[in-house]
Amino acid sequence: MYKINTNYQKLPGSYLFSNIAKKVNAFTEAHPEADIIRLGIGDVTQPIAPAMIEAMHKAVDEMGDAKTFHGYAPDLGYAFLRDAIVAHDYQARGCDISADEIFVSDGAKSDSGNIQEIFSVDNRIAVCDPVYPVYVDSNVMAGRTGVYDANTQMWSNVIYMPCTAENNFVPEFPKENPDIIYLCLPNNPTGTTLTKDQLQEWVDYANRIGAIIIYDAAYEAYISESNVAHTIYECQGAKTCAIEIRSFSKNAGFTGVRLGFTVVPKDLVCDGVSLNGMWARRHGTKFNGAPYIIQRAGEAVYSDAGQAQIKEQVGYYMNNAKTIYTGLKDAGYEVYGGINAPYIWLKTPENMTSWDFFDFLLEKANVVGTPGSGFGPSGEGYFRLTAFGSYENSVRALERIKNL
């Protein structure tokens, strides 16, 4: 008789964004006339810019000709893309990362969910609270998180590092030493970030206690302040304690085409075993490479035209962020984020719970956001709006919220 992985039974409810989608679908069925504005999931709305579309068209044509056809992609990604990543994202920032430390994938979500499997189940993870739910849920599935307490909404074997207005959304070093530390900067969901000096303290801490940092930098393109690091490898010593995960979803609008990469430095060695080698083994066994067409689009992101076009697109979303941020402030809300990230994090009015505010906003303003408590217990009483909608919808949503 076969047995299932009972860790899945421990997961409370569905994945946050599936849950929200179900609720919104039920509302639309009951109110087919409602003109819903979706500022919930951080999904882009602007079309992929011309340089990348052109590269994909060209690659599609190549696939239709035996002379230029491509089958399986190399496990770790095509050299043309890995070299472009190294040159633009690392060497240009003074970081000594080489192409054989880059692993191209189908996106940051899969990598951030999968990376935990190269670590022992005995490791203790630490997460910021609130946090992107994939980090905790994937560790639950692996059996690393202990017992769930529905009252506190906490797992017994997870170290939570609260990030709230009280500590300026800056996590403090936990009392007990973690083995694996997840950091997402600029942060999803709070839209806040750490300065480079603050990040350096985390790198020093991880090296000191022998922990590894899983650094999710999916929102790097949204950094506007000069004292914020674009990659953790700008910090001294990060190559001996950090894996970095990057995405093309948010900077280049690839949420629907899927492309990302993970950096596993060769200096990461545990008990004589190379983590780079382990991730290469995992990648080779379980992944057959991101599609050639999409990797060519990724390469085009680094062309001069691609860089100019994605900069404009990021600017468009950041203008939405500013519009939402200032609009909410003017309406009397307590608001955070939106300066180095496409997320606006607000305090719910009149001490409403996050889910009550979600229902209230959906029913009264037909606006969808994301309840802060869906990201962890310290997110209770907060709410997230994304800047990834259109400008027009951001303005309309704001008007409706102001009129509540």
Q: Give the interface with ligand MLT as residue ranges (CB under 6 A).
A: 41-43, 109, 132, 188
Host H or E run for residue 84: helix 79-85
Nearer to ligand MLT, 78 or 169 (CB): 169
Least Cβ distance, residue 371 to ligand MLT (angstroms) = 12
In whole angstroms, how close is the CB of 239 to ligand MLT at the nearest point?
26
41 or 300: CB nearest ligand MLT:
41
Minimum distance from CB of 70 to ligand MLT (Å)?
28
In the complex, least distance from residue 331 CB atom to ligand MLT, rounded to whole angstroms = 23
User: What residues contact 26, with CB distance under 8 A and at least 6 apart?
Assistant: none
Q: Which is nearer to ligand MLT, 200 or 370 (CB)?
A: 370
Instruction: Tell the smallest beta-carbon distance from residue 42 to ligand MLT (Å).
Output: 3
The pairing of strands 212-216 and 180-184 is parallel
* Amino acid residing at 66: A
CA separation, residue 27 to residues 133, 364, 393, 399, 402 (Å): 24, 12, 19, 21, 22
Considering beta carbons, is residue 188 or 262 the nearer one to ligand MLT? 188
CB atoms within 10 A of CB 255: 19
Q: Give 171 or 379: the residue with its C-beta nearer to ligand MLT.
A: 379
Minimum distance, C-beta of residue 125 to ligand MLT, in the bound complex (Å) = 19
With CA atoms as reference, report the closest residue to 328 among 388, 379, 385, 381.
385
Smaller CB distance to ligand MLT: residue 218 or 235?
218
Closest distance of CB 79 from ligand MLT, Å: 27
Question: Is the preceding peptide bond at 130 cis, omega within 30 degrees of 0?
Answer: yes
Q: Crossing angle of helices 16-30/354-365, nearest 10°? A: 30
Cβ distance to ligand MLT smaller for residue 101 or 380: 380
Whether the CB-CB separation of 103 and 260 falls below 8 Å is answered with no
Residue type, 53: I
213 neighbors 358 (Cβ within 8 angstroms): no
Which residue of the chain is nearest ligand MLT when measured via CB? 42
Contact 77, 290 (CB under 8 A): yes
Picking from 108, 76, 97, 112, the residue whose alpha carbon sits closest to that of residue 238 is 97
Nearer to ligand MLT, 301 or 341 (CB): 341
Residues whose CB falls within 8 Å of the CB of residue 171, separated by 6 or more in sequence, listed in order = 128, 161, 162, 163, 183
Residue 133 CB, shortest distance to ligand MLT, in Å, is: 8
